[in-house]
Structure formats: C-alpha cells, structure tokens
Amino acid sequence: MTHGKTLRSPAALAEAGLIAPDRLPALERVAARYAVAVTPASLALIDADDAHDPIARQYLPDAAELDAAPGESADPVGDLTHSPVEGVVHRYPDRALLMLTHTCATYCRFCFRRESVGGAGTLSPAALRKAMAYIAGDPNIWEVILTGGDPLVLSPRRLAAVMAELARIEHCKVVRVHTKVPAVDPARITAEMVAALRCPGKAVYVALHVNHPRELTPQVRAACARLIDAGLPMLSQTVLLAGVNDDPEVLGQLMRGFVETRIKPYYLHHGDFAPGTAHLRASIGQGQELMRALRGRLSGLCQPTFVLDIPGGHGKVPIGPAYLQAGETGQCVEDPWGGRHPYPPGALDPNP
Ligand SMILES: *Cc1c(COP(=O)(O)O)cnc(C)c1O
Ligand code: SF4
C-alpha cells in the first residue's frame, strides 16, 4: 500500500525514519542546493534497514553531493548552448526538446539537470507561445520531445492543450514524452491523463526512466499498461548507477521487467558529469562489461543501447562494447561468450 504525502525535506525524511538525525545538518546543506522530493510510491520501496538500499541511493539526499569532482559542470550536456528560445533545446535538426516545467515528482540525486530542476517553474503562457512558434517555424523538426522536469506533473488539461497545439504543426510527426511519473506516482496515470497524451494525427511515444527492477511494481506495470493499451508505445531509459544497477543480475532483471511490461529497452545512459554525482557514477568500462553480460544471456528484446552524452553538448553516441576489430588480413569478430572468429570466414586465424 502506498499512502501519505511526498516528503520534501531532510527533516521530513528523518521523521519518517529514513535518515539518521545526526546526518541532518549536512543533508540540509544538500537540500539547500538541490531539490528533494520522494513520492509515497518510492518511499514505500525503501528498506530503511538496508544501508545500501538501491531505491534510497537514487532518491535520498547524501552528503557526498556536496563534493564536486573534476570535470563536473552545471550544464553537463550543453542544454544552454543549444537553446534558441526559453523552454526549447534544439541540438539535432530533426528533434527539439520542449521543457514545459522544471518540476519533477521525485528528484533523482544524479539528475543531469539538477541545477535547473526544482521549484515550481513552469513555462509561462507567453514563453510557451514563443516556444511553439519556434517549433512551428522550423520544418526540419520532425519530432518534439516533452521533457523537463517531468511533463506528467502537469495537469491533463494543460498537457491536452499542448498536444492540441502540436497536432496543428504539419511537419511534427512524432511526439515523445520523457517521464518518471508512471514509476514514481503510478496513480497519476488516470484515464484523463492517458487521454491528454493523445495527439491527433501524430505518433506519441512515452519513454519511462527507471533504474532498478524493484521499481517495476504491479501498480507501475498497470500504469504502463494503461498507456500502452491506449496506443502509446513505450521505451525505457536507465542511468547506469554505482550501487544501484551496476550488476548484471540487477540490470538484466530490469531489462526483462521492461520487456514483460511491453516497454522496449532504449537507452542505458552513462552517468553525466552533473555536480556532486561522482559517488553514483560507474565507469564506461563497467558499463561495457555489463552490456557484454546482457548480450547472449538475455533476449535481443532486452538489449538497450549504452550511450554517452558527450560533455559540452556534442550529442549522444553509443559507446560499445564493440565486437568487431580490424586485423591485418581481415576482421575479427567476438561472439557473446568471448570466442573470436575471423571475418570473412577463413580470412585469418584470430587464435594462433
Ligand atoms: C537526448 C536528446 C535528444 C534525443 O536523442 P535521441 O537519441 O533521439 O533519443 C534530443 N535532443 C537533445 C538536446 C537531447 O539531449
Ligand atoms: S525525473 Fe529526470 S529531470 Fe527529474 S530529477 Fe529525475 S533525472 Fe532529473
């Protein structure tokens, strides 16, 4: 059962028995810099007796967030350098992000936009008009991605109004909604919300951000089923996180959970260099090892693409592992179990 309120301060989390009172002074300093909110559905999943609980690690503030590591930046993926008007980030010609709000239901401690999320900042009606005019004015924009913040914290009425405007833009064929709400507040996915996400004449996809298999509860799976049954295909995105999902069993269970829920695994993100997130970042090498472990062991449907958003705003690229290597007389390809094979067949002996 989940009940109660979203907890929004270290004091409230201490009162709920989730953080030790002696940690409060340091955590108050964290909360003064980065927004804190944990929904009842997420709180219900936290095992307060487990010092390494993977749900707590994602959502409860940690004093380590006060330590900035070399290379970390307030704008790790270069949103600011690609924002032509308020609320729009346009880095790839065919896709534009539309950020309707800076609010999220639950704040992730590793958020790549942690310096801009939080508070009650929603795009003003005037700014929204300008953002829509920008999108309507560029015929290259084939896909509009609603992100933020979390667009599903907005009311169905507001979302329906945005969808109605996008429906009128001829060159926009696809609308993608990036959200965590079905996972952290599944009760918000009401029939009214589902109806609001329809965009007449456009293909609407919902990309769900989940990082641990325990978060795919029956309630969460049911919320996703409501979206998918209404004709909204779903994709997943997961951030590779140290101590949360940097384990082949855990990551495999998560990917299988997505596929069982009819959600196609899309991206496994390498952790961005957001300030104070070093303790949650795994290495690229670890990520590649995990991807190798998934390949061969799990259905092809369960394979996400491991991607890096190149710091500074240079775009997302797949970062392996690579199975094909150039040799002197041909190529060598590695199978899912580590065996090496010449290609074309017979071109060279890779295991002399
Ligand atoms: C991630 C991102 C996208 C979407 O990229 P896909 O590879 O299409 O999922 C679009 N614009 C910006 C600015 C992004 O950061
Ligand atoms: S839901 Fe997304 S935008 Fe919001 S805090 Fe988490 S990672 Fe950041």
Q: Is 72 inside a domain boundary?
A: no
Q: Give per-residue pLDDT as tens, 4-59.
A: 899 999 999 999 999 999 999 999 999 999 999 999 999 999 999 999 999 999 99
Does residue 158 lie within any of the structural domains? yes
Whether residue 107 has its Cβ less than 6 Å from ligand 2: yes
Q: Tell me: do 149 and 198 sit in the same domain.
A: yes
Q: Which of ligand 1's atoms lies nearest the C-alpha of 92? A: 11
Q: Where in the sequence numbering do the catalytic residues fall?
A: 91-92, 95, 104, 108, 111, 113, 272, 309, 316
- Pair (328, 307) in one structural domain: no
This prediction's pTM: 0.96
Output the residue whose Cα is nearest ligand 1's atom 4. Answer: 95
Residue 183's CB: how many other CB atoms inside 10 A? 25
- Residues 266 and 165 occupy one common structural domain: yes
- Are residues 281 and 236 part of one domain? yes
- The pLDDT of residue 292 is above 90: yes
182 within domain boundaries: yes
* Mean pLDDT, residues 146-174: 97
Separation of 47 CA from ligand 1 center, angstroms?
A: 34
Q: Is 117 exposed, middle or buried (0-12, 13-18, 19+ CB in 10 A)?
A: buried
Cα-to-centroid distance, 315 and ligand 1 (Å):
7
Are residue 201 and residue 247 in the same domain, yes or no?
yes
Same domain, 225 and 196: yes
Q: Decide: 142 in ligand 1 pocket, CB within 6 A.
A: no
Contacts of 100 (CB under 8 A, 6+ apart): 87, 122, 123, 128, 146, 148, 149, 151, 154, 158, 162
Q: Mean pLDDT, to the nearest integer, of 127-140?
A: 98
**352 pLDDT above the threshold of 50:** no
Can you give the pLDDT at residue 189?
Answer: 98
- The pLDDT of residue 350: 52
- Do 15 and 102 fall into the same domain? no
Determine phi and psi for 175, rounding to 5 degrees: -120, 130
Nearest-atom number in ligand 1 for the CA of 266 is 9
**Same domain assignment for residues 104 and 202:** yes
Q: How confident is the model at residue 351 (pLDDT cuts 50, 70, 90)?
A: low
Task: Choose one of 34, 107, 116 to mutate for the ligand 2 pocket test, by most ligand atoms within 8 angstroms of C-beta.
Answer: 107
In contact, 297 and 252? CB cutoff 8 Å: yes
In a domain, 55, yes or no: yes
Domain count, the chain: 3
Same domain, 114 and 259: yes
Ligand 2 neighbour 270 (Cβ under 6 A): no
Is there a single domain that holds both residue 158 and residue 250? yes
Q: Is residue 213 domain-shared with residue 339, that is, in the same domain? A: no
Residue 351 lies in a domain: yes
Centroid of ligand 1 to alpha carbon of 90 (angstroms): 9
Q: Is residue 2 part of a domain?
A: no
For the domain that residue 192 is a member of, what is the CATH number? 3.20.20.70
Residue 1 pLDDT exceeds 70 = no
Residue 299 lies in a domain: yes
41 is in which domain, residue-wise? 10-66
Tell me the mean pLDDT in the region 229-236.
98
Q: From the CA of 97, how far away is ligand 1's center (Å)? A: 8
Residues 143, 257 within the same domain: yes
